[in-house]
Amino acid sequence: MENKSGRGAIRAKAFIDATGDGDLCARLSLAHRMASHFQPSTTCAKIAGWGSSGDTQDDVTGSDRLINFDLQQARLAHREEFELPEGFGWGRHVPGTRDVYMYAGTRIYHANSADGDDLTYGEIEGRRQVRAVMDLIRKYGPDNRLALVSLPSYIGTRETRHIDCLYRLQGSDVLYGKPFDDAIAYGSYRVDIHHQDKPGLTFKYLNGEQVYVRPGHPNEAGRWRGALEKDPTFYQIPYRSLVPQGPFGNVIAAGRMIDADEESFGGHPGHGEHEPDRRSGWRRRLSGAASFDNAEGR
């Protein structure tokens, strides 16, 4: 490892690769693959002057809207002028503030954050899009007093490498709630697929319903499967999907690098389907549970 103190080494009984991109596993030459297409990265931003939240919530996303201004429609209408890609934007007022908004509406397509050049491009492009959205609102929106409060220290990456582990979690495991005897995480949040080949995203629910959401267009509701006698209400993540194949018995692949196929990777739990604001990622929680099990020798 390298840090302010120079080059050093850490001795430990077990190592958790929590780099998101699987840098440790990749440098150990453990088998891995790049996602066939990356879910796009997003630079979030905190912006002041958004206006107070009120009863301006979007039915589908729960997102707060700018007062008297439909940002999604404006983005579609002026996207060429501001060079903004079409994409799913959402956000929330920062708790405890009156008008500071966390906006997650940038989309950096086809950039591999595990590659230095692509990552640099993504950081620059993400910040450019934040600026472009603010310029658009200043020009066409009702409020000219937006102020950038903060940018993230690091772009939000959704997907790069996946490590080949003892088991690859399948979309059907998640969508049909398959039980595992080594489950280390439970989830109930809908599967969301951020499309790379078309704008918007598709939500798949454990009860068989599905919704394609494309900002500025009507939602397309349907079913991804017919009715079952009993719908699953949750799904599980097995420990074996975090244990890399290969010679080392003391490495865990935690977080978004776990072995999951495209569809199962789109699932993440919350405290209820209708409370997306309270959800939190299973991908983050995995490392804690798995490292405990590993330390206990299980």
Ligand X SMILES: Cc1cc2nc3c(=O)[nH]c(=O)nc-3n(C[C@H](O)[C@H](O)[C@H](O)COP(=O)(O)OP(=O)(O)OC[C@H]3O[C@@H](n4cnc5c(N)ncnc54)[C@H](O)[C@@H]3O)c2cc1C
129 binds ligand X (CB under 6 A): no
Tell me the β-bridge partners of 35.
Answer: none
Q: How far is the CB of 15 from ligand X (least distance, A)?
A: 12
Q: Would you say 171 and 261 are in contact if contact means Cβ atoms under 8 Å apart? A: yes
Q: What are phi and psi of 157, to 5 degrees?
A: -100, 130
The residue within the footprint of ligand X, chosen from 255, 259, 263, 294 (CB under 6 A), is 255
User: Of 20, 91, 126, 141, which lies in the binding site for ligand X, with binding defined by CB under 6 A?
Assistant: 20
By CB under 6 A, tell whether 156 contacts ligand X: yes
By CB under 6 A, name the one of 63, 72, 112, 157 that touches ligand X.
Answer: 157
Q: Which residue is nearest to ligand X (CB)?
A: 255
Select from 194, 175, 174 the least CA-distant residue to 241. 174
What tokens appear for 39 in the block? 């879910």
**Number of amino acids touching ligand X (CB under 6 A):** 20
| Cβ-contact 259, 162 below 8 angstroms | yes
Which residue, among 47, 65, 63, 71, has the nearest Cα to 139 in the 3D structure? 71
Stretch that binds ligand X, among 141-149, 151-159, 165-173, 220-228 (CB under 6 A): 151-159
* Cα end-to-end distance, the chain, whole Å: 28
Kind and range of the H or E run holding 48: strand 45-48
Query: Quick count: other Cβ atoms within 10 Å of Cβ 210?
Result: 18
Whichever of 43 and 210 has its CB closer to ligand X, that residue is 43
How many CB atoms sit inside 10 A of residue 170's CB? Answer: 14
Q: Does 92 bind ligand X (CB under 6 A)?
A: no
Given a contact cutoff of 8 angstroms between Cβ atoms, the answer to whether 171 and 206 are in contact is no
Q: Does 152 bind ligand X (CB under 6 A)?
A: no
Any contact of residue 281 with ligand X (CB under 6 A)? yes
- Dist. CA 137–CA 78, nearest whole Å: 10
Shortest distance (Å) from residue 230 CB to ligand X: 26
Structure tokens at 45: 């931003």
If binding is defined by CB under 6 A, does position 44 make contact with ligand X?
A: yes
Name the segment binding ligand X (CB under 6 A); options: 120-128, 222-230, 231-239, 277-285: 277-285
Contacting residue, 130, 256, 264, 266, with ligand X by CB under 6 A: 256
Query: Judged by CB, which is closer to ligand X: 89, or 141?
Result: 89
> What is the footprint of ligand X within residues 173-202 (CB under 6 A)?
none
Q: Does 131 bind ligand X (CB under 6 A)?
A: no
Q: How far is CA 22 from the centre of its chain?
A: 16
- Alpha helix ranges (H) inside the chain: 23-27, 71-77, 79-82, 116-140, 171-175, 262-265, 282-295
Stretch of residues binding ligand X (CB under 6 A), selected from 20-28, 140-148, 164-172, 245-253: 20-28
Q: Which is nearer to ligand X, 140 or 158 (CB)?
A: 158
Q: Which two tokens stand for residue 205?
A: 């629910």
User: Which of 92, 93, 128, 158 lies at the binding interface for ligand X (CB under 6 A)?
Assistant: 158
Owner of token pair 């699953």 = 232
Q: Draw the binding track, 98-127, toward ligand X (x: CB under 6 A; -: no contact).
A: ------x-----------------------
* In contact, 155 and 21? CB cutoff 8 Å: no
CB of 57 to ligand X, least distance (A): 17
Q: Which residues contribute to the site for ligand X (CB under 6 A)? A: 18-21, 23, 42, 44, 104, 154, 156-158, 255-256, 268, 279, 281-284
